[in-house]
Chains A and B, each alone.
Chain A
Amino acid sequence: MEILVQQIVSGLATGGIYGSVALALVMIYQATDVVNYAQGEMAMFSTYLAWTMINAGLPYWVAFFGTLLVSFAGGVLIERVVIRPVEGKPILTIVIVCIGLLVIFNSLAGWIYSYIQKPFPSPFPERPIMLGVVVFGAHDLGAIGVTLIVLAFLYAFFRYTTLGLAMRAAAQNPASSRLCGIRVGWMLAIGWGLAAMVGAVAGMMVAPIVFLDPNMMAGILIYAFASATLGGFTSPGGAVVGGLIVGVLENIAGTYISFIGTELKLTVALAVILVVLVFKPSGLFGRAAVHRV
């Protein structure tokens, strides 16, 4: 029982990480209709910026918000400069450009900061919280909290602000939005900016746990995709819940199903996702796509 609880807690902690990156993925998909394969590497790069600021002596929260600002600007810039030329081109062309971005960011980070992993500070207390025999990491709890706050912000933004509504309209129906006077191009750019910002938050929450290195996001991105798929690519809340489910599921399968063990735990998580996809392609919380003939 003790093991079970501890495994669930530890699964929720890693699941929180998956959820936060998944949230960024869903975010950009919602705002631009593109799955950004470079999302993880952009988040990693943002985290390096934060690291540089902290190392230069800035207080954590100054660096934190500074990084968000720079990441937002960077996201907008990338959309305007890199993605713009292939806008409206076949979807796979955009995918390849994203893959190009992925390898560029990875390589640049290694070149500038070297491949050695670096410790990254957490804003939360270091002492773990003990509840009976179960140990909660303060950072793990804090990271889940931060992810939920980001989620709440996004929800409010897309629901209640004019800009948010305009962005949703631009992504869903660019032609009509343009007729309503929405500047669709800029909406997409802002979408990229916001996604870069959400990614930066995720990166800064992930780095204290997995340490900062240029390949930090590779493994996580895979799980983030799984989480977003499970929760539904159209549902930000679903992405976070999906992350938590994947985290817990993976730990429990790895611990209790002996033929799986730790060797096949990723495989099991993937199999579950395949099953979900087959029976409910839009994910657990997503909207089903409707086709017009």
Chain B
Amino acid sequence: MSGRARLVAVLALLAGAAVLPLFVSNFRLFQFTQVATYAIALLGLNMLTGYNGQISLGHGAFYALGAYTAAIMIDRWSLPYALTLPAAGLLCLVAGFLFGIPALRLEGLYLALATFALALAVPQILKYFEDWTGGSQGIVLSKPKAPWGLPLNPDQWLYFVTLAVMLVLFVLARNLLAGRTGRAIVAIRDNATAAQAMGINTALYKSLTFGVSAAYTGVAGALSALTIAFVAPDTFNVFLSITFLVGIVVGGLASISGAILGGFFIQFVPNWAQDISKAAPWAIYGVFLILTMYVMPFGIAGTVRLLVARRRRRAETARAATAPRAGTAKAG
């Protein structure tokens, strides 16, 4: 796709997303809010895993940290909810950066295991600090209402908030990844030693990527706390982290649009699975997952990219094929 075609597609999608509340019920809107929330978290994870090559099975931990930051700020300290998003982002940035430092020593499988340990520890730690987190009872919140007398109900308002946050974060990520920093991040994934030899401070970049990635996921967590209006340790189990990983791989690694596609997948496919079979919903989901990987081993975005590239190549060969004939015609 050329740059302009892509721009038009993105703008069309945005326009579609903006008028969506006119057409769908509040419940559907709530589901789309969740898709957008997941997309933010997936983009965060994708920066780390897709672009930088560090596998994390523990991003549920940062999602939890973000969600609880929001819940505690609103419920315990009565702060405005708008403050919770930057706070969650900052806190997770620091936490991610700090976790990224020891993680520097780990690669591939070992990093996956270390982050897995992080995800496992979360529910226990949340229960342990009961005074803050409300223990296993969790914290019940109220949905924020639309300000300035806007004629929107809370679902619609949250949808727009989430969409706006997603837009800002996606544009930021795009700029970050398309520039110098992005090239450094990808270079480290492709060949860390060579990257270092070229003067990239791999340690710094890797920890920073970890931090930014965690920050994105943390903001998503805070948004989820607002949408669901309830946080509890049971929400943040290991399966959540695994679901995120499924989301980025199915959506497409190292792809920004892949994060959104992944968000749709993890939100809607489990629901379809249970519509097909209530006896064994997970079996259907598992089959679906495996088949998706067979058909699209590089994820949905990766496959689209391949198809587009193939078409372009075919067009080029066609052009190349016609060119000499034109030449001969001239000669003849």
Interface flags for B183-208 (1: CB within 8 Å of A; 0: not) read 00000000001100000000000000
Chain A binding surface SS class: helix
- Answer yes or no: B109 CB below 8 A from chain A CBs: yes
- Report B-chain residues with C-beta under 8 Å of the C-beta of A70: none
| A210 at the binding interface (Cβ < 8 Å) | no
Contacting residue for A281 out of B55, B106, B194, B287, CB 8 A: B106
Residue ID in chain B nearest A104 by CB atoms: B286
* Interchain nearest-CB distance for B245 vs A (Å): 7
Cβ of A145 under 8 Å from chain B: no
- The distance in angstroms between the C-alpha atoms of A282 and B114, with both chains bound, is 12
CA distance A82 to B290 in the complex (A): 8
Q: Which residues of chain A (47-102) have a CB below 8 Å from chain B?
A: 82, 85-86, 89-93, 95-97, 99-102
B124 A96 Cβ-Cβ under 8 A:
no
C-alpha gap A271/B110 in the complex (Å): 14
Cα A111 to Cα B279 in complex, Å, equals 6
Check B287 against A86 for contact (C-beta < 8 Å): no
A10: Cβ under 8 A from any B Cβ: no
Contact B293 A97 (CB under 8 A): yes
A90 to B298, alpha carbons, bound, how many Å?
Answer: 8
Enumerate B244-276 residues with CB–CB distance to A below 8 Å: 245-246, 249-250, 253
Closest CB in chain A relative to B179 CB, distance in Å: 25
Q: How far is the CA of A240 from the CA of B112 in the complex (A)?
A: 21
> Which one, B116, B117, B282, B293, contacts A107 given CB within 8 A?
B282
CB distance from B252 to the nearest CB of A (A): 11
In angstroms, Cα B286 to Cα A98, docked, is 9
In the bound assembly, the distance between CA atoms of A101 and B288 in angstroms comes to 11
B193 touches A291 (CB 8 A): yes
Which of A158-166, A198-206, A262-270 lines the interface with chain B? A262-270
Q: Is the CB of B114 within 8 A of A277?
A: yes
Which of A82, A92, A107, A111 makes the CB contact (< 8 A) with B253? A92
- Which residues on B sit within 8 Å (CB–CB) of A293? 193-194
B134 within 8 A of A: no
Does B21 make an interface contact (CB < 8 A)?
no
Let me know if B106 and A97 touch, CB within 8 A.
Answer: no
A108 at the interface (CB under 8 A from B): yes
Chain A proximity of B5: nearest CB distance (Å): 28
Complex CA–CA separation, A111 to B281 (angstroms): 10
Cβ of B27 under 8 Å from chain A:
no
Sorting the interface of chain A by its residue count into under 10, 10 to 19, 20 to 34 or 35 or more gives 35 or more
Q: What CA separation (Å) do A40 and B290 show in the bound complex?
A: 18
Complex Cα distance A226/B120, Å? 11
The proximity string for B residues 94-136 relative to A, scoring 1 for CB distances below 8 Å and 0 otherwise, is 0000000010011111101110111011001101100000000
B283 touching A96, Cβ below 8 Å: no
A residues in contact with B293, CB < 8 Å = 86, 89, 93, 96-97, 100
Task: Check A93–B297 contact: CB distance below 8 A.
Answer: yes
Interface residues of A in 92-135 (CB under 8 A from B): 92-93, 95-97, 99-104, 106-108, 110-111
In the complex, B289 has a CB within 8 A of chain A? yes
The one of A29, A86, A95, A282 in contact with B245, judged by C-beta atoms closer than 8 angstroms, is A95
Q: Looking at the complex, which one of B108, B117, B193 makes contact with A274 (CB distance below 8 Å)?
A: B117
Q: Is B242 an interface residue (CB 8 A)?
A: yes
* CB closest residue in chain A, given B296: A93
Q: Quick one: given A101-B290, A281-B110, A291-B193, are A274 and B283 in contact (CB under 8 Å)?
A: no
Q: Specify the chain B residue showing the minimal Cβ separation from A218.
A: B238
How many residues of chain B get a CB closer than 8 Å to chain A's CBs?
46
Residues of A within 8 A of B288 (CB): 100
Query: Assuming the A-B contacts A100-B287, A263-B128, are A107 and B280 also in contact, with contact meaning beta carbons closer than 8 angstroms in the complex?
Result: yes
Given that A92-B245, A92-B249, A97-B289 are contacting pairs, would A104 and B283 also be in contact in the complex, using a CB cutoff of 8 Å?
yes
Query: Judging by beta carbons under 8 Å apart, are B249 and A273 in contact?
Result: no
- A192 on interface, CB distance cutoff 8 Å: no
With contact pairs A96-B245, A99-B246, A233-B109 given, residues A111 and B280 touching in the complex (Cβ less than 8 Å): yes
Contacts A97-B289, A104-B286, A106-B282; A264 near B245 (Cβ below 8 A): no
B23 at the A/B interface (Cβ < 8 Å)? no
B148 proximal to A (CB < 8 A): no
Is B49 at the interface (CB under 8 A from chain A)? yes
A97-B289, A267-B121 known; A107-B283 Cβ under 8 A? yes
Q: Across the interface, do B128 and A264 meet the contact criterion of CB distance under 8 Å?
A: yes
Q: Answer yes or no: A289 CB below 8 A from chain B CBs.
A: yes
Alpha-carbon distance between A270 and B118 when the two chains are bound, in angstroms: 8
Q: Residue A253 at the B interface, CB < 8 A?
A: no
- In residues 273-320 of chain B, which contact A (Cβ within 8 Å)? 279-290, 293-294, 297-298
The reply to whether B124 and A264 contact each other, CB–CB distance below 8 Å, is: yes
A266 to chain B, nearest CB (A): 6
B106/A277 in contact, CB under 8 A: yes
With a cutoff of 8 Å between Cβ atoms, the chain B residues found around residue A95 in the complex are 245, 249
A138 adjacent to chain B (CB < 8 Å) = no
- Quick check: B249 and A96 within 8 Å, CB to CB? yes
Whether B286 lies near A102 (C-beta < 8 A) is: yes
CA A248 to CA B175, docked complex, whole Å: 50
Q: List 28 A-B contacts (CB under 8 A).
A: A29-B109, A35-B112, A89-B297, A90-B253, A92-B245, A92-B249, A93-B249, A95-B249, A96-B246, A96-B293, A97-B290, A99-B246, A100-B285, A104-B290, A107-B280, A107-B284, A108-B283, A225-B113, A263-B124, A264-B125, A266-B124, A270-B118, A271-B121, A274-B117, A277-B113, A282-B110, A289-B107, A291-B193
Give me the interface of B with A, judged by CB distance under 8 Å: 49, 55, 102, 105-110, 112-114, 116-118, 120-121, 124-125, 127-128, 193-194, 238, 242, 245-246, 249-250, 253, 279-290, 293-294, 297-298
Leading 4 A-B pairs by shortest Cβ distance: A107-B282, A104-B286, A100-B289, A107-B283
